Amino acid sequence: MKSIKQKTAPVRLNKFISECGIASRRKADMLILEGRVKVNGKVVRDLGVKINPLRDGVIVDDLHLKQEQKVYYLLNKPKGFITSTSDEKKRKTVIELVKTNKKIFPVGRLDYNTTGVLLLTNDGDFANLLLHPSNRFEREYNVLLDKPLSKVDKEKLLRGIVVQKRHGSFKNITPLNKTQTRVKVTTEEGRNHFVKNMFKTLGYTVKRLERTRFANFTVKNIPVGCYRKINKSELNKILNKFN
């Protein structure tokens, strides 16, 4: 499966080398300056050069580069895993839950004990598309509060409050039980700890948090701690939003 963004447009040479898994962009720049990179048989030393990955041949030293296949996974994140590729404290990471030989990374973050929908990929364009605030992809969460949500506070959260020095709001709040200690919230915000901080600002503690939807992705029929590959039709639904 190709990247969510079809690679027909020119891309910077250092980006292409990096996406092939050869080196970081900074290291790729060094390889170019050292004259170790050829494009269509000719040595290239210009850092500003762009190539078309579908047409141009790139060689680093004697290695013919081929763009790494893009992969997309949907994980039902369990508690006790950090949303990172590594951890200096040696805690378990979500990367350990997905069996792949690709260098994948999580799309956005979920807290250590937050569960639910988490996407992982090696496609930076796909991740940026989903996470950029201007694209307004919805996130949906099931929230367990330490006390009932009052009508007044519910209205405040829908109108918007200042949280993390910026205005924030929920698009929808739906009670999940009679006491309104369990609610479902929908938001387009992707800031770290956003849901917890929204409630904390009004004096509530979030005791349990589960992300049930991100864009059109849910973990229905995926057991906690398990994952599946995202199929092409699901990816096309994301692309169609911008067609």
Domain-by-domain residue ranges, the chain? 11-64, 72-133+219-240, 138-214
Nearest to 164 by CA among 194, 144, 206: 194
Catalytic hit among 46, 56, 111, 146:
111
Q: Which CATH number is 72-133+219-240 given?
A: 3.30.70.580
Active-site residue flag, 111: yes
According to CATH, the topology of domain 11-64 is 3.10.290
Residues 6+ apart with CB under 8 A from 33: 45, 47
Tens of pLDDT, residue by residue, the chain (243 residues): 444 444 457 889 998 998 787 888 899 999 999 999 999 999 999 999 999 887 899 999 999 998 778 899 999 999 999 999 988 888 999 999 999 998 899 999 999 999 999 999 998 888 989 999 999 999 999 999 999 999 999 999 999 999 989 999 999 999 999 999 999 999 999 999 999 999 999 999 999 999 999 999 999 999 999 999 999 899 888 877 765
pLDDT number for residue 3: 47
pLDDT number for residue 1: 41
Q: Does domain 138-214 have CATH number 3.30.2350.10?
A: yes
11-64 matches 138-214 in fold: no
pLDDT number for residue 182: 98
**Strands in the chain per DSSP E:** 11-12, 37-39, 42-43, 50-51, 58-60, 63-64, 72-77, 105-106, 115-121, 139-145, 161-163, 166-168, 172-175, 182-187, 206-214, 217-218, 227-229
Q: Report the distance separating Cα 185 and Cα 13, nearest Å.
A: 43
Burial of 88 (0-12, 13-18, 19+ CB in 10 A): exposed
First to last CA, the chain: 19
pLDDT number for residue 7: 43
Q: Report the distance separating Cα 217 and Cα 171, nearest Å.
A: 18
pLDDT number for residue 243: 55
